[in-house]
Amino acid sequence: MSLAHHPLAQRSGKALGHFGQRLLGRVLGALLPTLPNVPIEDVPEARRILIVRPNFRIGNTLLTTPLIVGLRTRFPRAQLDYLAGDTTAALLTHLPIDTVYTISRRFITRPWRFVALFVRLRRMHYDIAVEGGMNSFSGGLYTYLTGAEYRIGCSGKADRFLNVRVPLEGTAHAYSTRPAIARWLGPGCPDHPVYKVSAEEHAAARAVLAQAQLTTGSTVLPFVGVFVGGHLKKRWPSARWIELVRSLAAACPRIVVFLGPEELPFEADYRRELPADVRVLRPQPLRLFAALLGAAHLVVTPDSGPMHLAAALGIPTIVLLQSDTSRRYTPHTALDRVLVRPSVAEAVAAVGAHPSWPDTLRVVS
């Protein structure tokens, strides 16, 4: 396991980041006044728009994708750009964006690149910059640094960086865009993540599945995808995943286990403990992984980036949560199921009762 993926390093980095934000917030609070608020309805037509969400988590980036569709619908002739994290920028490929700029964690040791990036963004003279985190301090700061004329976001942590602040209204689900933003963007703003798989990516996924003997001709055989990763406390221990997959494999011969980077140290355990006909796939390049996940008939996952990918791809999903607070981030179509702190037996029962389960048992000739 790399140092970046070690749980202790992740927890330490998260704590250090929160401390830095609080300290910086106090300093900027003494220097920057909170500007008068411009009602979002008064924002004029725009020629250049930037979405600001330089985040390194799959789910956080995917949560902004409805804004891309909504803004493109609202301003069809505008230049629409995106400021992303370098590790998740690939998620935006094939979406209606003109240019993607990226921020890297390496900027910590190369601060001149950070400065050069924002000098370049300021020279673009954006009419609108939208803080895609919807109440992110760092996102608000980056939005301010772009120099955009109208800086839009939700009221809260980033108030002094924004001049178009919409109410931070509580919503039952994170996929429901903040009401004021959604009303402004109109019906073109979806209520779920958006992701596009190309024909070439579909073909690459079929080639991987063919090697795993999960195709017949050009047809992918129905299978259940199980993602056994997760972030910090959202994870299940590998022993529980092994027990779950063994139970599913007893009824269905086509189970694909997707390992995340943090699960590589346990790869040998999965291959040793699971039946021989269970396919265990190592971490793949992000867009190939998405195409593979999109080929599944049913996905079982914790609260994770792949959970949001499955939602964007329209794949029925059974989500196994460790906390009830995660409910508001889970897929919410009629074919999605959410279980909070389930036993293995309860998870197996939910899979067996799902309408898509019989499809995975059928033989394709």
- 211/73 same-domain check: no
Structure tokens at 338: 């959410």
Q: What is the pTM of this model?
A: 0.89
Between the CA of residue 259 and those of 17, 48, 56, 65, what are the distances in Å?
28, 40, 19, 25
- 182/305 same-domain check: no
Nearest-Å Rg of the Cα atoms of the chain is 22
- 338/211 same-domain check: yes
Per-residue pLDDT, 134: 86
Per-residue pLDDT, 183: 83
Per-residue pLDDT, 352: 94
- 177/214 same-domain check: no
Domain boundary among 163, 188, 213: 188
Per-residue pLDDT, 313: 97
- 218/284 same-domain check: yes
Q: Would 14 be classed as within a structural domain?
A: no
Q: Would 23 be classed as within a structural domain?
A: no
- 81/166 same-domain check: yes
Domain boundary among 135, 157, 188: 188
Long-range CB contacts (within 8 A, 24+) of 103-106: 103/54, 103/142, 105/56
Per-residue pLDDT, 17: 45
Long-range CB contacts (within 8 A, 24+) of 345-348: 347/244, 347/300, 347/318, 347/320, 348/244, 348/247, 348/248
Q: For residue range 164-186, what is the model confidence (pLDDT) as tens digits? A: 999 877 666 777 766 678 889 98
Report the mean per-residue pLDDT for the chain. Answer: 89
Between the CA of residue 234 and those of 199, 209, 266, 279, what are the distances in Å?
33, 28, 17, 24
Q: Would 17 be classed as within a structural domain?
A: no
Q: Report the number of distinct structural domains present in the chain.
A: 2
Residue 293 has a CB neighbour count (10 Å cut-off) of 26
- 213/181 same-domain check: no
- 278/168 same-domain check: no
- 239/165 same-domain check: no
pLDDT < 50: residue spans in the chain = 2-6, 8-10, 12-17, 19-20
Residue 78 has a CB neighbour count (10 Å cut-off) of 18
How many alpha carbons fall within 13 Å on the CB side of residue 70? 25
Q: Would 55 be classed as within a structural domain?
A: yes
Domain with 351 in it: 199-361
- 137/234 same-domain check: no
Residue 339: give its domain's CATH number: 3.40.50.2000
The C-alpha angle with vertex 320 and arms to 297 and 168, in degrees rounded to 5, equals 105
- 37/177 same-domain check: yes
- 172/232 same-domain check: no
